A = this chain, B = another copy of it.
Amino acid sequence: MGKQAIYVGLDVGGTTMKAAAVDDGGKPLSAPAVMDTHPERGQDAGLQTMCETIRRAFAAAQLDLKDIAAIGVATPGLMDIKGGLILDPPNLKPWKNVPVRDFIQKTFNKPTVFQNDANAAAYGEFWVGSGREAKSMVLFTLGTGVGGGIIIDDVIIEGEHSHGGELGHVRIVEPDRGRRCGCGARGCIEAYASATNVVRRARDDMAAYRGETQLRQFFTANNEEFTAKDVFDLAIGGDELAMKVIDDTAYYLALGACAVIGAVDPEMIVFGGGMAVEDWFRDKIDAYVRRFGLPFPVKTVKVKFATLGSDAGFIGAAGCARLAMKTK
């Protein structure tokens, strides 16, 4: 036979889901099939959409079911990774206790692997993205929230309660003075460094700022539509307060990275998501990591930006399927 094994990875998000066939070297065989998730239509419809997205991925790569070695599915938490269940994810309301893995496994009669979406993205970057040369890697994904995943020697740190690598909620400021996070706690990384919270911090900093800043007119003109990208753009344009907000963001992310360095001492820390674009921002994070991290590890720990973009989830899900087949 000698034929290279092919895997399908499905990445389920609150808005859309994406799937593609991926070869044994981590290369997608087509652009991903994309469908709307419509969680409000209920979980049975959701399971059907997952299967349809997977079928479209077969078709896009001109493959039949028989060509597929295994399927990997990634979803947001809360979940039970080992049980193959979506539990009660805030992004997929009103779904509850959805037996994703078994449903897909039965539908296609293929080995199916279930994983947290941030863990899958981390595995994707580890497998064929910016971490492909690393033996251990930690990913922070910067979006509406801050997600994370930890991979050590091809092992994904899933956690006893499927919360391994829940890095957005590692605390960097003490609870009595930290910013309030969406999770209810205070001082989480996410409360400082998610795209949403970069904008919030910009607004708060502006309120206390005496100098000139373009943030003021931006917030007044389009309060609702102002994004982290706008803060970055103003910083690039030389706005001093915007620069401070971005610099603080790098500092907070570095504190999060330092906590993870103390816990697992990875070879590489990777930041992904819409804010992980500008080299000078990476350099700022890097400098703070070296200033505030454990002296011995930070001599050589690598700080990088992700390279797979929004493909990391389905590529990583396919990679998890591949990993499970190899280690069986």
Interface residues of A (CB under 8 A from B): 78, 135-136, 150, 152, 155, 157-167, 169-175, 183-185, 255, 258-267, 292, 294-297, 299-301
Contacts and interface: CB of A to CB of B under 8 A. Distances in A.
B163 A296 contact: yes
Contacts of A264: 150, 157, 159, 164-165, 263-264
A250 B136 CA distance: 32
B263 A297 contact: no
A255 B294 contact: no
Given A161-B265, A259-B259, 5 more contacts: A161-B300, A167-B262, A172-B174, A263-B263, A263-B264
SS class, residues of chain A in contact with chain B: loop
Contacts of A150: 263-264
A183 B297 CA distance: 13
A171 B259 contact: yes
Contacts of A169: 262, 294
Contact of A135 (B160, B175, B258, B265): B160
A263 B160 contact: no
B301 A183 contact: no
Contacts of A159: 136, 264-266, 297
A295 B183 contact: yes
7 contacts: A155-B155, A161-B299, A163-B262, A165-B265, A170-B259, A171-B262, A263-B264
A297 B161 contact: yes
Nearest to A155: B155
B267 A165 contact: no
5 pairs of A and B residues whose beta carbons are closest in the complex: A159-B265, A170-B262, A163-B265, A160-B267, A161-B297
A299 B163 CA distance: 12
Contacts of A175: 255, 292
A12 to B, nearest CB: 19
Contact of A265 (B160, B172, B260, B267): B160
A163 B135 CA distance: 15
Contacts of A160: 135-136, 265-267, 297, 301
